[in-house]
Structure 1
Amino acid sequence: MQRRFLLSALAAASVVPGMSWAQAGKPIRLIVPFPPGGATDISGRVLQEPLQRILGQTVVIDNRAGAGGSIGMSELARSAPDGLTLAVATLSTHGVNPAVFAKLPYDPIKDTVGVTELVKAPGVIVINPTELPMVHSFADLVKYLKANPGKVSYATPGNGTIGHMWGELFKSATGTAMVHIPYRGAGPALNDVLAGQVAVYFDQVASSLPYVKQGKLKALAVSWNARLESLPDVPTYGELGYQNLNDPSWFGLVAPAGTPAPVVLRIQQAVAQALAEPAVAQRLAGQGLYPSGTSPQAFSKQIVSEIAKMKKVAAYAKISLD
């Protein structure tokens, strides 16, 4: 049944006016709403070559960083819905931002359409073992925090960031209290955790893993559906009974609202084909990213679900950046 669906989708795409991008002679612009070098940028660039090959059309990466991804997404929202402009969406642009900002220059539901989830990125809670020598497990941390409310701090890349939301979600789920210390970026936040200025940090596994391996940080739990090969001794949140904390971060692909469904499906299938290539999967795995390739319908539902979840967290923690 799935094979018949894919074949019919590709057949439909082949007859859509303007679908032959190569004949149009215009490149596909892939907007990355964050600076070069980060995980968002990497997830787009890894797909650049295989998508060019599969679609037979040039793919140009366009970094439009700023305002937590809002600048890039507003650029996408203003673009023609012809399949020639796409953007890498993140949990920030299509989850956190609409939850913490009353006004955005784009509407993630009305102005964009989900194409596919590209990759998932496991999250992790880490501590500085020197600052919390009595904490050897997730249960130990919860116990200590309940006995010492407000005496432990956690660092984040800034107010309203994913790390901030993860921290508040943790506090809500465990019934604990910690002091939020916002920084201007992930680098400064992680550096201060390593230096012992702050004890707890919520991060993506890829960023903290080298320091966990070196013993400078201790990982207590990961947000994934099973234990990671890179951290076999670290349990998942779900395993510990906190399934609502077990959702990883993700990166996806969106198009301007109004992009024809057959065009969206053609792009999604090209992405799925690219993600299935061993070389692509290997490059992503090296960055702690795991290929996905979900359907447009599934990804669109995921975006709605993420926004609702983050709005609950923002309401609980009274986070508003307007």
Structure 2
Amino acid sequence: MFLNRRQALVASAAVMAPMIANAKLPAHAKIHCPFSAGATVDMVCRQLAEQLRGKLAETVIVENRTGAGGLLAIDALVRSPADGLTLMVHGGAIQSVFPHTMPKLPYDPFKDVAPVSMTHQLEYGFAVGPAIPESVRTLNEFLAWVRSNPKGGAFATPGAGTPLHFVPMVVSQSSKVDLVPVHYRGSSAAMPDILGGQVPAISTALSDLVPFLADGKVRMLATSGPTRNSLTRNTPTYAEQGFPEVTAVAYNAVFVQGDTARAKQEEISSMVRAALATEPVRVAFEKAYIKPYGCTPSEALTEGRAGYKRWGKVVKAVGYVPAQ
């Protein structure tokens, strides 16, 4: 079979088109993760990397930059080229809370990093373990019990200077009940002491507590959302129990280097939101008790600035003094 000149050109173009398209796609991109492998945020990073492969770059890898309270991952992002090929998934707290709790913040939260989309939202939960009597089923019952048992007011947190530390402290101030934080390096490190009865209560992400509720060893007393969470419908919110000032919803987001061109930020945001809408991501998130939640760069930035003002007031109100 012989092709005429026109047929040959068409055939050649059909062969060359995907080659040209691939040539335009960068070879490598990376996503920095501030947590170790196996953590929820690590799962989020790996799901996004899989979905962005072949779109953002031919290969997208996850680098776990753990340590220094999440600052190592931020430093790696800030030092990267502003070409949109280095991403980071981190908590919105790097813009809203860290500036108020770290005396020498090594980055500008609104210049050095830029959020392009949220990945998911999460609420906080307050739960008690076997150290607290079975009869205690609500936050107010817990506070009443602590009034009668002052040494029982300790609660675990996954880290000092975090919203999970501050939420019970606001309750403590409002109720005039002495609650004392016990800080751990993550909620997974704290759970053995909760289950063993060494620490009575814990304030952590709701998604971290749900797996422990089924056998009754851990009882959820309050959640931080504006309405009851679908995962714990029988648990009233802080607001329902008389603490409306504790209503709070956290989020994680995809960040790029702050000097990344606005058009590139919008492009990456669209890719991330498309990834979050895929069935594999939905299923993976559901197993981790979280729901995909994407947004535009403008929406993410607006939330970051609002959180900065909100948490600044909270940190001041509870009298938190950062370690020097």
Fold-level similarity (TM above 0.5): yes
Name the aligned partner's letter for residue 286 of structure 1: K
What is the correspondence of 1:307-318 to structure 2 with a 5 Å cutoff?
307-315=308-316, 316-318=318-320
Query: Measured at CA, do residues 21 and 145 of structure 1 come closer, stay the same or move farther in structure 2, by a change above 3 Å?
Result: farther
Task: Indicate conservation of the 8 Å contact 1:121/1:288, yes or no.
Answer: no
Q: Distance in 1 between matches of 2:222 and 2:123?
A: 10
Q: Distance in 2 between matches of 1:129 and 1:60?
A: 42
* Of 205-214 and 231-240, the range deviating more from structure 2: 231-240
Task: Indicate conservation of the 8 Å contact 2:25/2:56, yes or no.
Answer: no
Q: State the shift of 1:292 in Å.
A: 0.8
Task: Indicate conservation of the 8 Å contact 2:130/2:194, yes or no.
Answer: no
Q: Distance in 1 between matches of 2:122 and 2:22?
A: 31
Q: Are 1:205 and 2:206 counterparts?
A: yes
Task: Indicate conservation of the 8 Å contact 2:155/2:200, yes or no.
Answer: yes
RMSD (Å) for aligned C-alpha atoms: 2.3
Q: State the shift of 1:134 in Å.
A: 4.0
Q: Distance in 2 between matches of 1:200 and 1:128?
A: 6
Q: Distance in 2 between matches of 1:165 and 1:260?
A: 36
Q: Distance in 2 between matches of 1:319 and 1:115?
A: 31
In structure 2, the residue matched to 1:321 is 323
Deviations 1:120-179 (A, max 9, x none): 123211012442444221221233345655641111233224432333233245443212
Q: Classify the secondary structure of the residue corresponding to 1:48.
A: helix
Query: Measured at CA, do residues 149 and 305 of structure 1 come closer, stay the same or move farther in structure 2, by a change above 3 Å?
Result: farther
TM-score w.r.t. structure 1 length? 0.85
* Of 141-150 and 246-255, the range deviating more from structure 2: 141-150
Task: Indicate conservation of the 8 Å contact 1:91/1:162, yes or no.
Answer: no
Name the aligned partner's letter for residue 31 of structure 1: H
Query: Measured at CA, do residues 109 and 279 of structure 1 come closer, stay the same or move farther in structure 2, by a change above 3 Å?
Result: same
Instruction: Return 5+ residue gaps in structure 1 as ranges.
Output: 1-19
Q: State the shift of 1:110 in Å.
A: 1.8
Q: Distance in 2 between matches of 1:42 and 1:244?
A: 32
- What is the aligned length? 303
Q: Distance in 1 between matches of 2:228 and 2:181?
A: 28
In structure 2, the residue matched to 1:182 is 183
Q: Classify the secondary structure of the residue corresponding to 1:230.
A: helix
In structure 2, the residue matched to 1:80 is 81
Name the aligned partner's letter for residue 120 of structure 1: Q
Q: Distance in 2 between matches of 1:306 and 1:22?
A: 41
Deviations 1:214-245 (A, max 9, x none): 11011012223443333221123344453432
Task: Indicate conservation of the 8 Å contact 2:29/2:60, yes or no.
Answer: yes
Query: Measured at CA, do residues 202 and 98 of structure 1 come closer, stay the same or move farther in structure 2, by a change above 3 Å?
Result: same
Query: Measured at CA, do residues 235 and 319 of structure 1 come closer, stay the same or move farther in structure 2, by a change above 3 Å?
Result: same
Q: Classify the secondary structure of the residue corresponding to 2:43.
A: helix
Name the aligned partner's letter for residue 224 of structure 2: S
Name the aligned partner's letter for residue 88 of structure 1: V
Task: Indicate conservation of the 8 Å contact 1:22/1:57, yes or no.
Answer: no
Query: Measured at CA, do residues 305 and 74 of structure 1 come closer, stay the same or move farther in structure 2, by a change above 3 Å?
Result: same
Query: Measured at CA, do residues 267 and 123 of structure 1 come closer, stay the same or move farther in structure 2, by a change above 3 Å?
Result: same
Q: Distance in 1 between matches of 2:137 and 2:154?
A: 17
Q: State the shift of 1:54 in Å.
A: 4.3
Q: Classify the secondary structure of the residue corresponding to 1:279.
A: helix
Q: Are 1:60 and 2:61 counterparts?
A: yes
Larger Rg: 2
Name the aligned partner's letter for residue 294 of structure 2: G
In structure 2, the residue matched to 1:156 is 157
Deviations 1:59-78 (A, max 9, x none): 11111111111011011111
Q: Classify the secondary structure of the residue corresponding to 2:267.
A: helix
Task: Indicate conservation of the 8 Å contact 1:129/1:135, yes or no.
Answer: no
Q: Distance in 2 between matches of 1:72 and 1:95?
A: 17
* Of 80-89 and 239-248, the range deviating more from structure 2: 239-248
Name the aligned partner's letter for residue 89 of structure 2: V
Deviations 1:257-300 (A, max 9, x none): 12111111111111111111122111101101111101111111
Q: Distance in 2 between matches of 1:173 and 1:295?
A: 36
Q: State the shift of 1:118 in Å.
A: 0.7
Query: Measured at CA, do residues 178 and 273 of structure 1 come closer, stay the same or move farther in structure 2, by a change above 3 Å?
Result: same
Query: Measured at CA, do residues 151 and 317 of structure 1 come closer, stay the same or move farther in structure 2, by a change above 3 Å?
Result: farther
Task: Indicate conservation of the 8 Å contact 2:28/2:59, yes or no.
Answer: yes
TM-score w.r.t. structure 2 length? 0.85
Q: Distance in 2 between matches of 1:50 and 1:107?
A: 30
Task: Indicate conservation of the 8 Å contact 1:150/1:179, yes or no.
Answer: no
What is the correspondence of 1:274-289 to structure 2 with a 5 Å cutoff?
274-289=275-290
Task: Indicate conservation of the 8 Å contact 2:114/2:258, yes or no.
Answer: yes
